[in-house]
Structure 1
């Protein structure tokens, strides 16, 4: 790789030092502060760190961190890969990730949906992976139609190769201006945000996985890759059983997207798939932690679509702890709780905690789901008899629970 200019080298070095100090002092994992320091000293640092690398940007409302991890695992077959493994998905986090592995010829960066146009313009990434769009953090995020529109404008006129989920109409519309698109039929369980055509506003008719606008020509493209239950069918018609260790339909969809991205990098499924099968946990997600005879599986869910996927993975025979906060990274508006169908939890022992436990308790009460209200996660955990249990938490609540168990990864 081309050597960085002296100013960029200094900014990168000081950023790494700040990140190390953050980790040593227990203030964080350093994945944001290091980038912030570097960008203050050299505002053009991200562009310079991205130069001469082949980059993939991964963006979606749900599944960004997991898919980034899967793609990274696959691409290690080709060489070193720089990545923001812990989900710091804005420019400061990208600077930290690329700075931490300056020699890596490849990079895979999770990118916040709002920041995708800016990061694409800055890095000139050759591959972009777009998976889904649904309502999230309503007090800070734009309407998802506006996000899809920004994606369209960002991709127009660029030589970027886009890997996109054609089962999501908003993603399809956002990706359709790209010069080259590989369409993946990755599925779309949460459809509540895409009943109207983003092109003309007309109603979308759905028949199975297929969809089309009733009033204009906008329709589902023919997929190149297809998720077929527990397998993926590639563009040549070959069927590959995924056999991932990560559970659930959403992760099989993430795996299909990852294989399509890997092929865009020149890596065949036969070489990429074994690497995907090695991934067992992603920044604490799906990890099972143990204490006092209890084994708790940790599941992250941040919005209605995410809760639907968490319920898919959760074991209906087990007790479950639900924890919701409303700090800055979560979004302070919890009105989205009313879009989640919690009736699926009826018949299970349910324990409710978190800073916004009363909001969640009211929602469960309206859904006729019995629950026990707890002041803290520890109280909820100790109230459950020894054995297995599930935990579903939103972002900051999830991180707090991870910290109680030594930030299990």
Structure 2
């Protein structure tokens, strides 16, 4: 049980103290939460600190291209029914940020940790998780993450023989291939709206057949496993066939899928689906995502979409036309500097919406919208875009650093 013994050596305690001091100084200087710089300092002083902090916790790791921050939050809420939780709720998901988060949870029983896809294998090695949730893999940050199959291979090798229970989305062939090296997998039918990264078999390279919701490779026989948990409309079906209603304040089908995976994870720790799903209702917004804010006497809903799969899901949950839409795209380091992914997004889904374009790469986006025959206006900034919007709630969709810029501007 966590908290009964102190696993930290004097060196580790020094590292934690130094990390917290640096983080506090960073916050005081107005440079953000300080969690990453604090974690970096702590790991420099004790390279084994992450493993030491995790050793008294029941750890859950959550990794995916889309939905990991939200799913981490949903799982954390569900597990609070069984004991105190420490989590990197603000999405600092590389080893430094994770270390910083765990250092703040001395009385916790559970550690619910979002992990960047590229770091999953290493963090799993350090933290000996009891459970790992794998949601999806799709193209993202093309200039730094290489291609999706390489990430899947990295997961597959890193998780081979893992003692963790792996909760994996059986509708994503890349996730299935990655998880199949693990001896203990719970399959969840969570759906997959974006399929353009999974037309070739990850196992043999053959062409994937996709009749209905099923999929299989006609050449090597690699196929969709039978799920024991499933998202069915507004319900989660558990392994006994019972249907549990999903009541969320978060919008969209993607968040119901996140809730289904979260319920399966909670069950691994003995939290029943009804209790888990009821607790998930508490989550209203996740690090500003889905928040409705007042700005210039208008209601703005802030939506994050970082890659083609995310944009596709986001388009499915915005208000119907003629709701005005503001789009903002940057291409800074944290976004990935390659904007060619814009050509993979189906912007014809915005037909009928008045569109206003802002952000560092507004001209790249304007060219893409022009080709998609959309009516739009390019604006200098958020203030100007909001002033030009016709009546109605404004849907604001932005990629990662553009989203942070927007939150600062609206004071969120």
- Which range, TM-score by smaller chain? over 0.9
- Cα distance, 1:142 vs. partner? 2.2
- Alpha-carbon separation, structure 1, partners of 2:62 and 2:295: 35
- Alpha-carbon separation, structure 2, partners of 1:31 and 1:182: 33
Deviation track 1:131-175 (CA, whole Å, cap 9, x = no partner) reads 000000000002110111111111112211100000000000000
Deviation track 1:93-147 (CA, whole Å, cap 9, x = no partner) reads 1001100112211101100101000100111111100000000000000211011
For the residue of structure 1 that corresponds to 2:334, the secondary structure is helix
Q: Which one of the candidate residues 350, 357, 360 is aligned to 1:345?
A: 350
Q: Aligned ranges for residues 205-284 of structure 1 at < 5 Å?
A: 205-284=209-288
What is residue 64 of structure 2 aligned with on the other side? 60
Q: Which one of the candidate residues 382, 396, 401 is aligned to 2:406?
A: 401
What is residue 31 of structure 1 aligned with on the other side? 35
Contact 1:60 1:130 in 2 (8 A): yes
For the residue of structure 1 that corresponds to 2:215, the secondary structure is strand
Contact 2:324 2:390 in 1 (8 A): no
Q: Which one of the candidate residues 369, 373, 381 is aligned to 2:378?
A: 373
Segments of 4+ moved more than 6 angstroms: none
Is 1:46–2:44 an aligned residue pair?
A: no
- Alpha-carbon separation, structure 2, partners of 1:231 and 1:158: 30
For the residue of structure 2 that corresponds to 1:330, the secondary structure is coil
- Cα distance, 1:385 vs. partner? 4.1
Q: Which one of the candidate residues 364, 367, 378 is aligned to 1:359?
A: 364
- Cα distance, 1:60 vs. partner? 0.3
For the residue of structure 2 that corresponds to 1:108, the secondary structure is strand
What is residue 203 of structure 1 aligned with on the other side? 207
- TM-score of the superposed pair, with normalisation by structure 2: 0.97
Is 1:325–2:330 an aligned residue pair?
A: yes
Contact 2:247 2:277 in 1 (8 A): no
Contact 1:295 1:388 in 2 (8 A): yes
Contact 1:316 1:345 in 2 (8 A): no
- Alpha-carbon separation, structure 1, partners of 2:386 and 2:179: 44
Contact 1:292 1:386 in 2 (8 A): no
Deviation track 1:240-269 (CA, whole Å, cap 9, x = no partner) reads 110211100000000000000000111111
- Alpha-carbon separation, structure 2, partners of 1:215 and 1:155: 26
Unaligned runs of 5+ in 2: none
Deviation track 1:31-86 (CA, whole Å, cap 9, x = no partner) reads 21111111111111111111111000000000000000000010111111111111
What is residue 170 of structure 1 aligned with on the other side? 174
For the residue of structure 2 that corresponds to 1:129, the secondary structure is strand
- Alpha-carbon separation, structure 2, partners of 1:37 and 1:385: 49
Is 1:180–2:184 an aligned residue pair?
A: yes
For the residue of structure 2 that corresponds to 1:209, the secondary structure is coil
- Cα distance, 1:384 vs. partner? 1.8
**Root mean square deviation of aligned Cα:** 1.0
Q: Which one of the candidate residues 113, 127, 130 is aligned to 1:123?
A: 127
- Cα distance, 1:25 vs. partner? 2.4
- Cα distance, 1:292 vs. partner? 2.4
What is residue 194 of structure 1 aligned with on the other side? 198
Q: Aligned ranges for residues 50-199 of structure 1 at < 5 Å?
A: 50-199=54-203
Relative to structure 1, is the Cα distance of residues 210 and 34 closer, same or farther in structure 2, using a 3 angstrom cutoff?
same
- Alpha-carbon separation, structure 2, partners of 1:103 and 1:179: 31
- Cα distance, 1:325 vs. partner? 0.2
Contact 1:31 1:84 in 2 (8 A): no
For the residue of structure 1 that corresponds to 2:286, the secondary structure is coil
- Alpha-carbon separation, structure 2, partners of 1:309 and 1:270: 26
Deviation track 1:270-297 (CA, whole Å, cap 9, x = no partner) reads 2211111111100000000102220000
For the residue of structure 1 that corresponds to 2:210, the secondary structure is strand
Aligned length: 407
- Alpha-carbon separation, structure 2, partners of 1:22 and 1:257: 35
- Alpha-carbon separation, structure 1, partners of 2:28 and 2:410: 18
What is residue 393 of structure 2 aligned with on the other side? 388
